[in-house]
Structure formats: structure tokens, C-alpha cells
Amino acid sequence: MRKNSEFVPIENFKRILKFWWLILLLSIAGGITGFIIHRHKPPIYEATAVFMASIDFNKISTPYTLTQYDEDISLVTVEVVLKQALPSVEAFIRDSNLPVGTDVLLSQYIIERQNAYWELRFRYSDPVVAQKIVNFWAQLAFVRLQDWQKSGQMPPYIYFTLVQLATLPDHPIYLTTNRMVLSGSLIGLIAGVLVVNLPFLSVKKKG
């Protein structure tokens, strides 16, 4: 039997304490590597258009009082119209020969509500392309919202407006820097623990 190959937790722990500086160094190096890798990825730009939607209580002719739930359901119309416009946005991308596939479009757009405001965002490596897609999408949705209201598909008491079209993004966004740094640090930490348990570091010198 080869007793030297047996795993001894206490000895393992002692080696980790002895070479703590090496583990820390590798963990820091891993974090720095993660940061560098992330920053050297192709830059991503985000274009944003903003809608505002609210309830105009002066246009509610009945004595019925809207609950918060009623208001939320009514205002969700903006999101519904934006999503229903997706096929037209895809057609615009094809007709304009923009280098954006359907999978990229679906994975890189965000529709988010912040109180009375709805933000339509799209992220892409080319800021001009991102701006073009968002502005076409926003303007199309605004026209459809008006049509919905005129045709009675939307309650007349919903007030909405296109507050802001997307400006040309002038700097990239870095969304996962912390995650990349943390991942690199964890990889460095694990590598450090493995290194200090290599045979050439754990062999005891016989005096």
C-alpha cells in the first residue's frame, strides 16, 4: 500500500495556509485576466427610445374608479404593440440590408417599464445600426398606438407619447464586467489551490 498517496485533509489545509500568498496572487491574476478579456471583446452599443404612457382621468366618463391593476393592464398596451411590431422590424432589417439576424434581434432587444415610461433598447456592435433599428421600431409602434386608439382597440383614457427617439450611442456599454472579474478570480483561486497541492510543493524534506 502506498500511504504517501492518501488524502490527508489536515495536511492539505496546512499547505494552503503555507502558500496563501500564491493562491491570492493567482486569484488576483485571474480577476485581472477576466477584466482584460472582457474589455477586449467587440464593443457593444445600446440605442434607446422612450415612450410615456399614463391615464388621463378626465377622459373617464363613468364614475368607475380604476384600480392599480386596471391601470397596469391598460398601460401594458405599449409593450404589446412594440412586440407585435417585431415582424415589421425584421422586414425593415432585410430590406435595408442591415447585418442583423433574427436571433440577434430577439436576444438583444429590451422593453422595460419604469413607472410611466417605457424604454425600447437594442444592443449591437455598430451604433448606427442600433440607432436605425430602434428609431424605425419606435416610430412604427407610435403610429400603431395612434391607430389602435382611433379604432377603439385601446381605451381613450390612455395618454401616450414618444418622448425620445434614439440618439447615436457615443460609447460602448460593459454589462458583465463584474461577472467576468469574479469568474476570473474564482478560476485563479481554484488554480492556486490545485498548484499548492502539486507533488513538488508537498514533498517533505527529510533531514
Q: What is the mean pLDDT of residues 26-31?
A: 81
Is the model's pTM score more than 0.75? no
The grid coordinates of residue 90 equal 425584421
192 & 132 share domain = no
If one compares 188 and 77, the residue with the highest pLDDT of the two is 77
On whether both 11 and 92 belong to a single domain, the answer is no
Least confident span in 4-8, 80-84, 150-154 = 4-8
Mean pLDDT, rounded, for 22-28: 81
Please, where are the H alpha helices in the chain? 9-18, 20-39, 68-75, 77-84, 86-95, 102-108, 127-151, 177-196, 199-202
Q: State whether 57 and 146 are in the same domain.
A: yes
* pLDDT given for residue 28 in this prediction: 84
Q: Alpha-carbon distance 113 to 80, whole Å?
A: 12
Q: 22 with 92, same domain? A: no
Are residues 158 and 60 part of one domain? yes
Which CATH number fits the domain that encloses residue 156?
A: 3.30.70.1130
Residue 169 lies in a domain: no
Question: pLDDT, tens digit, for every residue of 125-176?
Answer: 899 999 999 999 999 999 999 999 889 888 778 888 999 999 999 888 865 5
State how many domains the chain has: 2
CB 133 within 8 A of CB 119: no
Supply the DSSP symbol for 173.
B
Confidence band of 41 (pLDDT split at 50, 70, 90): low
Shared-domain flag, residues 188 and 160 = no
What 3-state DSSP class applies to 190? helix
25 and 102 fall within a common domain: no
The residue range of the domain holding 16 is 7-40+176-202
